[in-house]
A and B are shown apart, each in its own frame.
Chain A
Amino acid sequence: MSTRFMPFWPTSLSGIVLSISALILAGCGDRQAASQIDSAAPVVVLNGEDQPLRDDFNRDQGFVRLILLVDPRCPECLRGLADMGDDVLAKLPQGSHIKVYVVHEPVIGGGEKDIPAAAELLHTTLARHYWNPTGDFGRQMSQVLGLLHGSSPVYAWDIYMIYPPNAVWSRQDPPQPSYLMHQLPGLDNQKFPPWDGKLFATKVSDTLAAQ
């Protein structure tokens, strides 16, 4: 490779890289939107007995139910919510028998104030949002689902679960979902498939069709 044949590319390379970085780090940002989002989504605080999620879940028996566990400041979780909104909920027929519960947990510093902006990604006001400030729900779900990395338990977050219409939350712990996907590294991908919005949408449609 002779410098004769590349009179300007190396010097402009830094500029190109910086431009791409700047575009990603600034141009695509949406700080304004994040701060101006209408906080229409009501947020309910979960108590130590998982109420009122538990009552809501049982009251909605007969519906396909989705429980999503996220941190409202985690970019991967936000990506999961955005995919859920774009690939799953937006594509459902009007009047589908489905309920969505989003449990927000403070895993990497997310707070209750971050929930309205995250909720916007679902493009629906039908989802109910719960704030679990202690993070206990993630530990509980980790045990229920048996999330392990080797022999170490993996905290349950960035997880998307489907419950069939006949699922009942009768014991202290939530019931097992019929299907789940996640974005956590280190889990057995055979047992716990990694997040794929389009595949998840297919599973939701199948569960709705099986009603």
Chain B
Amino acid sequence: MERSGIVGVTGGAVGLSALALAFGVCCVAPWAVTLLGVAGAVLLARLAFIQPYVVAATIVLLGIGFWFVYRRPRPAAACDPVQRRRSRRLVWGAAIIVIAIDIASFAPRFLI
């Protein structure tokens, strides 16, 4: 369960950061109309105001992920050090990806 929880929050963080990137670059990305059509691009632009909240949610999910892998293990719980190390790598990897995508999602604001 714990492993799946970690995968869930890190996957959720990566997914949400991709959504934030879509919102962030929608104003400068001609692909939006190609991919979504005119109505979809309009909807994306109308929802772009939630981008900062989506980014905040990715940070919260990462925080939960870190809490999972760095919290003190319960004495009764079986602790597998190898598994724990893998989980930490997973969360750190996701954190690097998510932060990079989150930063990229804000970049267009400074380009135009």
* A interface residues with partner B (beta carbon < 8 Å): 1, 3, 6-7, 9-14, 16-18, 20-21, 24-26, 28-34, 73-76, 78-79, 82, 108-110, 114, 117-118, 120-121, 183-186
Contact = CB atoms under 8 A, between A and B. Distances in A.
Interface size range on B against A:
35 or more
Given A24-B43, A28-B40, A78-B41, A17 B16 contact: yes
Contacts of A7: 1
B78 interface: no
Interface in B1-45: 1-2, 4-9, 11-12, 15-16, 18-19, 22, 26-30, 32-33, 35-45
Given A7-B1, A78-B33, A30 B44 contact: no
Contacts of A20: 19
Nearest to A37: B38
B70 interface: no
A112 B44 CA distance: 22
B37 A30 contact: yes
Contacts of B32: 75
Contacts of B45: 75-76, 78-79
A64 B38 CA distance: 28
B43 A32 contact: no
B33 A75 contact: yes
B26 A76 contact: yes
Interface in B87-112: 109-110, 112
B30 to A, nearest CB: 4
Q: Give chain A's interface secondary structure class.
A: helix
Given A10-B12, A13-B9, A14-B12, A108 B39 contact: no
Interface of B: 1-2, 4-9, 11-12, 15-16, 18-19, 22, 26-30, 32-33, 35-48, 61, 64, 67, 109-110, 112
A79 to B, nearest CB: 4
Given A17-B19, A28-B43, A10 B5 contact: yes
A76 B47 CA distance: 11
B36 A78 contact: no
A17 B12 contact: yes
Contact of B33 (A6, A17, A24, A73): A73
B19 A14 contact: no
A93 B60 CA distance: 49
B42 A29 contact: no
A139 to B, nearest CB: 15
B38 A24 contact: no
Contact of A3 (B5, B29, B33, B35): B5
Contacts of B5: 3, 6, 10-11
Contacts of B27: 74-76, 183
Contacts of B15: 14, 17-18, 21
Contacts of A185: 109-110, 112
B31 to A, nearest CB: 9
Contacts of A109: 30
A48 B9 CA distance: 56
